[in-house]
Amino acid sequence: MRSLQILVVDDDDADALMISEALETADTSASVDRVADGREALDYLRRQSPYEQAHRPDLILLDLNMPRMDGRETLAAIKSDDVLKAIPVVILTTSGAAPDIVASYQHRANAYVTKPFGLDDFESTVQLINRFYREVASLPPQAGQA
């Protein structure tokens, strides 16, 4: 099993750090990159300055509530882009509001997960997402690997 390349899109430094640490302590650690908002995410995914050397992620963990371009707009942009839309996007956010959940799935999110409050539960949830996409799900091949 190969390690996943994961892009975390979250403006909260503490949450981003907890996600990275949870993925680093997993059985098979993931390679994690992080951007702080949707505009940076799209620049990263499209390899625009300063992300020309960015790796295409196997999975995107996307927060909804961010400045400049929020997760809702980012998800819609990713899933309407023919080059990017096959990348699985898991919404990982504090919101458990039904309208957010419905809107995320309407914009073709692959999963919607509400961030748990306790540190252990948060770490366990992130590790479960990683394990599912690494061990259970079949992911599209990276460019050049098909």
**Is residue 146 assigned to a domain?**
no
> Where in the sequence is the domain holding 95, given as residue range(s)?
5-134
* CATH code of the domain in which 13 resides: 3.40.50.2300
**Is residue 140 assigned to a domain?**
no
The answer, as to whether pTM is greater than 0.85, is yes
Contact predicate 91/109, CB 8 Å: yes
Question: What residue type is 46 in one-letter code?
Answer: R
**Is residue 144 assigned to a domain?**
no
**Is residue 93 assigned to a domain?**
yes
How many domains does the chain fold into?
1
**Is residue 64 assigned to a domain?**
yes
**Is residue 145 assigned to a domain?**
no
pLDDT of 20 higher than 70? yes
User: Rounded to an integer, what is the distance from CA 98 to the centroid of its chain?
Assistant: 20
pLDDT digit string, tens, across residues 106-131: 999 999 999 998 888 999 999 999 98
